[in-house]
Structure 1
Amino acid sequence: MAKNFYRPTRMCVACRDKHTQENLLRLRCIDGELSAFSGVGRSFYFCKVCLDDEKKIAKALMRQCRSGKKDELMSKLKEIVINE
């Protein structure tokens, strides 16, 4: 008999769809600065589909980081995605 393994689901902050945690990119903002999640503090998720939609991502990042620095947030996100 096969066991059913629990896979945590989380919501993408851009499209609001639920995905398994392994299919999402986990980030966090500290004082308006975007960074990869380091295991401490609050975080949020983006699905891999939304990462291709720059307009949707920019709006969600500005909302999550409470910042109007769209260009800085987008450049930092690109840096994080490349390093992951």
Structure 2
Amino acid sequence: MAKNFHQAIRMCISCRNRQEQKLLVRLQCKEGLLEAFNNTGRSFYICNDCLSNEKKIIKALMRQCKSGEKERLVNRLKEIITDDRKS
């Protein structure tokens, strides 16, 4: 007898498309700084399609983190993504 498990569906903050949670990157903002999710506090998701398009995610990140520093957000996002792909 096969078990049918429910897959969690989450929404990308940039394109608003819904996908399975395991296909999205989970991030959070603490005090206006972008960080990888550390299992505490509120978080948000970004899909891989949006990650490849820098211009598309800048506005969403600025809105989510309530920050006007585009370069710092983008640079931190790149650091998080490269660290995540290494592990």
Same fold by TM-score greater than 0.5: yes
Superposed displacement of residue 66, structure 1: 0.3
Residue number in structure 2 paired with 1:61:
61
Superposed displacement of residue 2, structure 1: 2.4
**1:10-62 CA deviation, whole Å, 9 max, x = no partner?**
00000000000000000000111000000000000000111011111111100
Give the count of matched residue pairs: 84
Task: Tell me which amino acid in the other structure corresponds to 1:4.
Answer: N
TM-score in terms of structure 2 length: 0.93
Superposed displacement of residue 3, structure 1: 2.0
Residue number in structure 2 paired with 1:29:
29
Residue number in structure 1 paired with 2:6:
6
Q: Which runs of 5+ in 1 are unaligned?
A: none
Superposed displacement of residue 4, structure 1: 1.3
CA distance in 1, matches of 2:63, 2:52: 18
Please say if 1:82 is aligned against 2:76.
no
**Runs of 4+ that moved beyond 6 A:** none
TM-score in terms of structure 1 length: 0.97
CA distance in 1, matches of 2:54, 2:60: 10
RMSD of Structure 2 on Structure 1 (CA): 0.7
